[in-house]
């Protein structure tokens, strides 16, 4: 059986707020713990690349049989779901200057109350990361 060539992608967006505890914010190395609550939107998209090529050929820069430029929704299927979510995390920041720090290492656990999004299971997540931090309110 021949499956059409496809391109798949997925993403997860947490939105919310909460409390962060930083006991040594004025020190060079600053640990923190946080508890955030809000929501999560998880999206899975599948593009049919063969259909995209076929539609673009039918459009033929406005000279073809297709009456309009093909929209992404003509050759792509997107499934998304929203649900309540919490995030609990810990980590360490290395202060570079008063307003800037480097999040040396951080661990976040997330729990989302929503059903699966196609083949994506967003209910539990663990994230280990490093990042740049802008410390607003420290200037």
Looking from the CA of 47 toward its CB, the CA atoms found within 13 Å total 12
Q: What is the DSSP letter of 117?
A: B
Cα–Cα distance measured from residue 124 to residue 16, given in angstroms and rounded to the nearest whole number: 17
CB 89 within 8 A of CB 34: yes
- Furthest CA-CA distance within the chain: 67
Q: What is the pLDDT of residues 41-76, one digit of tens each?
A: 999 999 999 899 999 999 988 888 988 899 999 999
100-123 exposure pattern, b = at least 16 Cβ within 10 A, e = fewer: ebebeebebebebebeebbeeebb
Domain ranges of the chain: 6-134
pLDDT band at 123 (very low <50, low <70, confident <90, very high): very high
Look up the pTM and report it: 0.76
Least confident of 13-22, 45-54, 92-101, 129-138: 129-138
Cα–Cα distance measured from residue 12 to residue 69, given in angstroms and rounded to the nearest whole number: 30
CB 94 within 8 A of CB 102: yes
Cα–Cα distance measured from residue 109 to residue 39, given in angstroms and rounded to the nearest whole number: 14
The stretch 9-20 carries a mean pLDDT of: 94
């Amino acid at each position: 059986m021949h499956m059409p060539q496809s391109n798949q992608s997925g993403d997860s967006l947490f939105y919310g707020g909460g409390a962060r505890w930083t006991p040594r914010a004025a020190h060079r190395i600053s640990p923190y713990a946080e508890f955030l609550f809000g929501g999560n939107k998880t999206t899975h998209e599948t593009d049919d690349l063969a259909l995209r090529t076929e539609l673009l050929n039918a459009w033929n820069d406005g000279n073809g049989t297709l009456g309009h430029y093909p929209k992404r929704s003509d050759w792509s299927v997107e499934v998304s779901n929203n649900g309540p979510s919490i995030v609990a995390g810990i980590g360490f920041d290395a202060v570079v200057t008063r307003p800037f720090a480097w999040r040396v290492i951080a661990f976040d656990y997330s729990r989302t109350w929503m059903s699966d999004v196609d083949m994506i299971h967003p209910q539990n997540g663990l994230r280990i990361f490093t990042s740049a931090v802008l410390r607003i309110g420290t200037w």
